[in-house]
């Protein structure tokens, strides 16, 4: 009697199949890894874009609702202008904005005192819970934007000239304290997006 040959794979066939599976596994792993990296990059880019848009929209909103409301000095007598840009100060700008929402119904006004400053390439926005703060009223600070190389703010005065200081010199003190520009130009230079410029018309 002849013995029938047992069906099966030879050693060479098994080795070839193993190599093919290994190559396919490596290719699949690389594809998955590259897709994951692409998703992470896209997510990071979108998060960064939202951060930039939020910061710019908040600054634009503050200038667009600029209120002619001076505030008391924290020390001594006198008032600070409704819009103040002092080149010798740490802050980039200090202003009073209207339309501060009061969802909690707390006993306060709707005018908010806000200041912006640049610290370690971070744009910081600070505000006070009272319109006329004292030294006993610390500001609430929030980091808006990182990787900021430079910020420039210019103001269009009544003579249609762009200036970097506010309020203008001269005139009655009461008028200076309440004066507002016709428009504001905001220029932000970022390390990743370059230069961004927004022009804001100030109502009133």
pLDDT value at residue 6: 56
- How confident is the model over 31-49, as pLDDT tens digits? 787 777 776 777 778 999 9
Segments in the chain below pLDDT 70: 1-8, 39, 103-105, 107
Tokens 């808006």 locate to 144
| CATH code assigned to 60-201 | 3.10.610.10
Domain boundaries of the chain, sorted by first residue: 60-201
Report how far residue 50's alpha carbon sits from residue 56's, in angstroms, rounded to the nearest whole number. Answer: 10
98 in Cβ contact with 110 (< 8 Å) = yes
Task: Characterize the bridge pairing of strands 83-84 and 71-72.
Answer: unpaired
Whether the CB-CB separation of 59 and 153 falls below 8 Å is answered with no
pLDDT of residue 109: 74
- What confidence score (pLDDT) does residue 107 get? 65
Q: Are 113 and 23 in contact (CB under 8 A)?
A: no
């Amino acid at each position: 009697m002849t013995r029938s040959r047992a069906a099966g794979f030879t050693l060479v066939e098994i080795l070839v199949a193993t190599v093919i599976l290994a190559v396919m596994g490596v290719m699949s792993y690389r594809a998955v890894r590259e897709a994951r990296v692409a998703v992470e990059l896209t997510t990071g880019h979108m998060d960064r874009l939202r951060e930039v848009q939020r910061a710019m929209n908040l600054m634009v909103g503050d200038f667009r609702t600029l209120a002619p409301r001076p505030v008391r000095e924290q020390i001594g007598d006198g008032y600070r202008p409704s819009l103040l840009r002092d080149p010798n100060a740490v802050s980039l700008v200090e202003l009073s904005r209207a339309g501060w929402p009061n969802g909690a119904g707390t006993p306060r006004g709707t005018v908010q005192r806000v200041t912006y400053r640049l610290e370690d390439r971070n744009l910081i926005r600070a505000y006070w819970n009272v319109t006329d703060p004292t030294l006993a009223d610390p500001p609430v600070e929030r980091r808006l934007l990182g990787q900021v190389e430079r910020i420039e703010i210019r103001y269009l005065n009544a003579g249609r000239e762009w200036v970097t200081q506010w309020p203008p010199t001269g005139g009655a003190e009461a008028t200076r304290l309440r004066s507002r520009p016709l428009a504001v130009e905001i220029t932000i230079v970022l390390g990743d997006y370059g230069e961004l410029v927004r022009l804001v018309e100030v109502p009133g």
